[in-house]
Amino acid sequence: MGIFDKFRKPKEESTSTSAYDHIVPMPTAVPNQQEVPMVLGFALLSSETCDWSSFIDNLHKDAEITIENQPNEENIVFEVEGMQVVVAHMPAPIPNREVEECCKYNLLWPEAEQVVATHRSHVIVSVSGAPNPIAAHLLFTQVVSSMMQLNEALAFYMAPMVVSAESYVESAQMLKEGELPVQLWVFIGLYQNEQGRCSYTRGLERFGKYEIEVIHSEHSLSEVFEFTMMVVDYVISYNVSLEQGETIGFSEEQRLSLTVSQGIAVENDSIKVGY
């Protein structure tokens, strides 16, 4: 059984359960979104070459995806269930210290800047033509995970997210258990000031959702991070659209207000959760 089959059931049986004790349909489309955005990210390598043979073997072993043709001029283009995948090796680092500058936002990997500064080339991975954002990200994660297993793989980069190769592969294993590795799909940023601790997301817009912000919370940064991740998981796993004036809670007593307004740490409007 392929990885997509774990997330595909007949329509009348298309349900998913989680720790939130809800039963809801698996997402098939995003409301008010005409076209599913391309998913694009970068694999950072410690060498100037890419081990295409091992990548192809990993993809076949882990995702049951077979690539018939060998790479042509450092590129592989193939299709999976109507989705187009492009994997292109660039024999040079990402310029202008772009990745290194993003490392300061990734508090979960303190050594990130030191590690990514050693990358000598990178691989661009993209998935387009997907029927829905979940399908796009499932396939994208499979492809990137196969790349992250290479000996020369250092890290994955999707601005502003930077993840070590080991952490990416470990999180991607959730797919084999029928779980969604949303921590690889949506970045959660943290900051604090005199008024409290704050968080924001980057990546929910690819799912047709508002980005989420927690502003001036009295909770610790770790609690704010964990709460924000719970909301992200809930929104993506159950295709939930949070709206102005509603409330959200993860217990019978918890009722947190939702407000839509201009983003503070994000460009467009965001959902502010009163946590």
Using one digit for the tens of pLDDT, what is the confidence trace for 226-242?
Answer: 999 999 999 999 999 99
Using one digit for the tens of pLDDT, what is the confidence trace for 71-124?
Answer: 677 899 999 999 999 999 999 999 999 999 999 999 999 999 999 999 999 999
Which residue bears the tokens 């303190």? 110
Residues 191 and 173 in one domain: no
Residue 148: burial class (beta carbons within 10 Å; 0-12, 13-18, 19+): buried
pLDDT score for 5? 55
Q: Name the nearest CA neighbour of 185 among 55, 40, 47.
A: 40
Q: Residue 161 and residue 171: Cα distance in Å, rounded? A: 14
Q: ∠ at Cα 106 (156, 230), nearest 5°?
A: 95
In a domain, 98, yes or no: yes
% of the chain residues with pLDDT over 90 = 81
Using one digit for the tens of pLDDT, what is the confidence trace for 245-256?
Answer: 999 989 888 899
Torsion (CA) 144, 127, 213, 239 in degrees, nearest 10: -110
Question: Greater confidence, 93 or 28?
Answer: 93
Q: How many domains does the chain have?
A: 2
Using one digit for the tens of pLDDT, what is the confidence trace for 251-272?
Answer: 888 899 999 999 999 999 999 9
Is-cis flag, bond preceding 25, omega within 30? no
Residues 6+ apart with CB under 8 A from 215: 196, 198, 264, 272
Residues 110 and 196 in one domain: no
Residue range(s) defining the domain that contains residue 167: 30-177
Residues 110 and 234 in one domain: no
